[in-house]
Amino acid sequence: MTAFAIAGVVHPGLSRPSNEDRVVIDAAHGLAVVADGMGGELGGERAAEDVSATIARTVANGGELAAAFEAARGALAAHGDDPGIERPGATLAALRIRPERGDVEIGHAGDVRVYVLRRAGAPSLVSPAPRYCPPHALASGATLACVTRDHTSICELVERGHVEPAAAAGHPLRSRVSRAIGRADAREELQVLALAAGDRLLVCSDGLWSGVDPAAIAAVLDQAPTAELACEQLLAAALAAGGADNIGIAVVSWGQP
């Protein structure tokens, strides 16, 4: 089986009074979860904590990601009427490396993203990048691709051709989430991707991807010698860009430190 390494970091950023992002890493089970809470300070923090911990617990007990997301929905429903909590919910992405199969299971709901940096000469990714987030090619021959589609109103409009990708960043609907765990009609998307030697996978909240240029993200994933250093450098880039939001980051290195 191919070796892999997982690292993660979470930071409140430089402008928010609280931190509604959560990052959970379970290297023994190949799991990385990044959750971004919704529903006000108390509701958001609790929702992110509950969904990330529930997914980690379910996977550690042998459950697939589909079962883990189902359990996370149940965890939020259990305290949905608690006093002081308004509509608790969370956007999140989770990945589970399956070394015996040489692939990764990915689930997401909302606008927490999963990116894959693939090296030159490796097979092309089967999962196409969204129109609003095109692949970025580096001089090394590696390519960074977003393999999840944001569940937001603006991204749906871009995908349908109603809004040009260049106009998405400043659009008033940019932050309107259409799916989140905790909403009655919201379902996660699940997929499985075959891994290639040297792949780097990134799971991150919008505190990273909305403020840091894809070229800078790609360069860090391409050049950082370890997953841990990649996390540190990506966090530094998000803070240098203003740190306007909470920041949750997880990096997986497949076949390298």
**pLDDT recorded at residue 177:** 87
**pLDDT recorded at residue 156:** 81
CA angle (201, 207, 213) in 5-degree steps:
70
Report the C-alpha gap between 247 and 211 in whole angstroms. 10
**pLDDT recorded at residue 28:** 96
Q: Report the SS3 class of residue 70.
A: helix
Tokens matching residue 45? 């923090």
DSSP 8-class letter at 149: -
Closest by alpha carbon to 197, among 102, 106, 104, 94? 102
**pLDDT recorded at residue 89:** 87
Report the C-alpha gap between 49 and 56 in whole angstroms. 11
Report the C-alpha gap between 99 and 11 in whole angstroms. 29
Tokens matching residue 246? 């909470």
Closest by alpha carbon to 226, among 2, 4, 71? 4
All structural domains of the chain: 4-36+91-254 (3.60.40.10)
**pLDDT recorded at residue 176:** 82
**pLDDT recorded at residue 203:** 98
Which pLDDT tens digits describe the chain residue by residue (257 residues)?
Answer: 679 999 999 999 999 888 999 999 999 999 999 999 986 655 788 899 999 999 999 999 999 999 999 999 988 887 655 555 456 789 999 999 999 999 999 999 999 999 999 999 999 887 777 888 889 999 999 999 999 999 988 878 877 878 777 777 777 767 788 888 987 767 899 999 999 999 999 999 999 999 999 999 999 999 999 999 999 999 999 999 999 999 999 999 998 76
Tokens matching residue 230? 């990649």
**pLDDT recorded at residue 53:** 97
pTM: 0.93
